[in-house]
Protein backbone atom coordinates (compact mmCIF):
# COMPACT_ATOMS: atom_id res chain seq x y z
CA UNK A 1 0.00 0.00 0.00
CA UNK A 2 1.19 3.53 -0.81
CA UNK A 3 1.92 5.83 2.10
CA UNK A 4 1.04 9.05 0.26
CA UNK A 5 -1.90 10.13 -1.85
CA UNK A 6 -1.32 10.48 -5.60
CA UNK A 7 -2.46 13.45 -7.67
CA UNK A 8 -2.96 12.31 -11.26
CA UNK A 9 -3.11 15.02 -13.94
CA UNK A 10 -2.70 15.46 -17.71
CA UNK A 11 1.02 15.78 -18.30
CA UNK A 12 0.50 16.61 -21.97
CA UNK A 13 -1.50 19.71 -21.08
CA UNK A 14 0.71 22.73 -20.47
CA UNK A 15 -1.96 24.47 -18.39
CA UNK A 16 -2.35 21.39 -16.16
CA UNK A 17 1.42 20.90 -15.79
CA UNK A 18 2.01 24.57 -14.95
CA UNK A 19 -0.88 24.51 -12.45
CA UNK A 20 0.46 21.41 -10.69
CA UNK A 21 3.99 22.84 -10.62
CA UNK A 22 2.64 26.06 -9.13
CA UNK A 23 0.66 24.10 -6.53
CA UNK A 24 3.73 22.04 -5.61
CA UNK A 25 5.82 25.16 -5.05
CA UNK A 26 3.21 27.30 -3.31
CA UNK A 27 1.15 24.75 -1.38
CA UNK A 28 3.75 22.04 -0.78
CA UNK A 29 1.04 19.34 -0.62
CA UNK A 30 1.65 16.02 1.03
CA UNK A 31 1.21 13.90 -2.08
CA UNK A 32 2.96 12.53 -5.13
CA UNK A 33 1.93 14.29 -8.35
CA UNK A 34 2.23 12.28 -11.52
CA UNK A 35 0.97 12.69 -15.09
CA UNK A 36 -1.59 10.07 -16.01
CA UNK A 37 0.59 9.19 -18.99
CA UNK A 38 3.19 7.76 -16.56
CA UNK A 39 0.92 6.66 -13.72
CA UNK A 40 0.11 3.01 -13.02
CA UNK A 41 -3.58 3.68 -13.65
CA UNK A 42 -4.75 0.10 -13.18
CA UNK A 43 -2.90 -0.19 -9.87
CA UNK A 44 -4.45 3.12 -8.80
CA UNK A 45 -7.91 1.82 -9.68
CA UNK A 46 -8.71 4.42 -12.34
CA UNK A 47 -9.33 4.24 -16.06
CA UNK A 48 -7.47 6.20 -18.71
CA UNK A 49 -10.77 7.73 -19.80
CA UNK A 50 -11.37 9.16 -16.33
CA UNK A 51 -7.77 10.35 -16.01
CA UNK A 52 -8.11 12.18 -19.34
CA UNK A 53 -11.35 13.79 -18.15
CA UNK A 54 -10.29 15.25 -14.79
CA UNK A 55 -7.54 15.54 -12.22
CA UNK A 56 -7.69 12.69 -9.72
CA UNK A 57 -6.71 12.34 -6.08
CA UNK A 58 -6.11 8.72 -5.08
CA UNK A 59 -5.72 8.02 -1.37
CA UNK A 60 -3.40 5.31 0.00
CA UNK A 61 -6.51 3.19 0.69
CA UNK A 62 -7.68 3.49 -2.92
CA UNK A 63 -10.46 6.09 -2.61
CA UNK A 64 -10.60 8.24 -5.75
CA UNK A 65 -11.74 11.87 -5.88
CA UNK A 66 -12.05 13.70 -9.17
CA UNK A 67 -12.23 17.24 -10.44
CA UNK A 68 -12.95 19.92 -7.87
CA UNK A 69 -12.89 17.37 -5.06
CA UNK A 70 -9.36 16.36 -6.11
CA UNK A 71 -8.44 20.05 -5.80
CA UNK A 72 -10.10 20.14 -2.36
CA UNK A 73 -8.06 17.12 -1.25
CA UNK A 74 -4.88 18.76 -2.60
CA UNK A 75 -5.63 21.88 -0.56
CA UNK A 76 -6.45 19.80 2.53
CA UNK A 77 -3.02 18.17 2.27
CA UNK A 78 -1.20 21.50 1.90
CA UNK A 79 0.75 23.40 4.49
CA UNK A 80 -0.24 26.73 5.97
CA UNK A 81 -3.82 27.99 5.81
CA UNK A 82 -4.74 26.20 2.58
CA UNK A 83 -6.58 23.32 4.30
CA UNK A 84 -9.28 25.80 5.37
CA UNK A 85 -10.04 26.54 1.71
CA UNK A 86 -9.93 22.81 0.95
CA UNK A 87 -12.48 22.12 3.68
CA UNK A 88 -14.77 24.84 2.30
CA UNK A 89 -14.62 23.21 -1.14
CA UNK A 90 -16.09 20.02 0.34
CA UNK A 91 -19.20 21.73 1.75
CA UNK A 92 -22.43 22.42 -0.12
CA UNK A 93 -23.15 24.87 -1.75
CA UNK A 94 -19.46 25.75 -2.23
CA UNK A 95 -18.82 22.19 -3.46
CA UNK A 96 -21.47 22.60 -6.16
CA UNK A 97 -20.05 25.93 -7.32
CA UNK A 98 -16.52 24.47 -7.30
CA UNK A 99 -17.69 21.65 -9.56
CA UNK A 100 -19.14 24.12 -12.07
CA UNK A 101 -15.96 26.23 -12.03
CA UNK A 102 -13.73 23.15 -12.36
CA UNK A 103 -15.70 21.85 -15.35
CA UNK A 104 -15.57 25.27 -17.02
CA UNK A 105 -11.78 25.47 -16.56
CA UNK A 106 -11.30 21.87 -17.72
CA UNK A 107 -13.49 22.40 -20.77
CA UNK A 108 -11.75 25.69 -21.66
CA UNK A 109 -8.15 24.90 -20.72
CA UNK A 110 -7.06 25.26 -24.35
CA UNK A 111 -7.83 28.98 -24.03
CA UNK A 112 -5.97 29.50 -20.76
CA UNK A 113 -2.34 30.59 -20.25
CA UNK A 114 0.19 27.78 -20.66
CA UNK A 115 -2.12 25.66 -22.79
CA UNK A 116 -0.83 23.39 -25.52
CA UNK A 117 -2.52 21.59 -28.40
CA UNK A 118 -3.03 18.64 -26.02
CA UNK A 119 -5.36 20.89 -23.99
CA UNK A 120 -7.89 21.05 -26.82
CA UNK A 121 -11.23 19.46 -26.00
CA UNK A 122 -11.49 15.84 -27.06
CA UNK A 123 -14.65 14.11 -27.98
CA UNK A 124 -15.73 11.01 -26.13
CA UNK A 125 -14.76 7.87 -27.95
CA UNK A 126 -11.79 9.51 -29.69
CA UNK A 127 -8.45 7.80 -29.52
CA UNK A 128 -5.93 8.84 -26.88
CA UNK A 129 -3.87 11.89 -27.41
pLDDT, the chain, mean:
90
Given this model, what pLDDT does residue 127 score?
Answer: 41
Residue-wise pLDDT tens digits, 53-84: 999 999 999 999 999 999 999 999 999 999 99
CA–CA distances in Å: residue 125 to residues 51, 53, 65, 87:
14, 12, 23, 35
Report if residue 24 sits inside a domain: yes
Give yes or no for a contact between 39 and 6, defined as CB atoms under 8 angstroms apart.
Answer: yes
Could you tell me if residue 128 is inside a domain? no
* Closest to 29 measured CA to CA, from 93, 72, 90: 72
Q: What is the pTM of this model?
A: 0.87
- What does DSSP say about strands 6-9 and 32-35: parallel, antiparallel, or unpaired? parallel
Is 6 exposed, middle or buried, given 0-12, 13-18 or 19+ CB atoms closer than 10 A?
buried
Examine residue 59 and state whether it is found in any structural domain, yes or no.
Answer: yes
Residue 37 in any domain: the answer is: yes
- pLDDT band at residue 112 using 50, 70 and 90 as cut-offs: confident
Domains of the chain: total = 1
Give a yes or no: residue 77 inside a domain: yes
* Statement: residue 128 has pLDDT above 60: no
Does some domain include residue 41? yes
Pairwise CA distance, residues 119 & 111, whole Å: 8
Res. 113: pLDDT tops 80: no
Q: Is 6 helix (H, G, I), strand (E, B) or coil?
A: strand
pLDDT at 27 over 60: yes
Q: What is the pLDDT of residue 119?
A: 66
Domain assignment of residue 36, yes or no: yes
Asked if the model's pLDDT at residue 125 lies above 60, the reply is no
Contact yes or no for 28/79 (Cβ under 8 A): yes
> In terms of residue numbers, what domain contains 101?
6-117
If 0-12 CB within 10 Å is exposed, 13-18 middle and 19+ buried, where does residue 12 land?
A: middle
Is 1 within the bounds of a domain? no
Amino acid sequence: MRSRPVLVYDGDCGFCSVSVGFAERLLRPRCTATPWQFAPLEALGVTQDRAEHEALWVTPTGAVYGGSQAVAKLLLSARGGWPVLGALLTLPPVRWAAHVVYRWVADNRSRLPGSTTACAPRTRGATSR
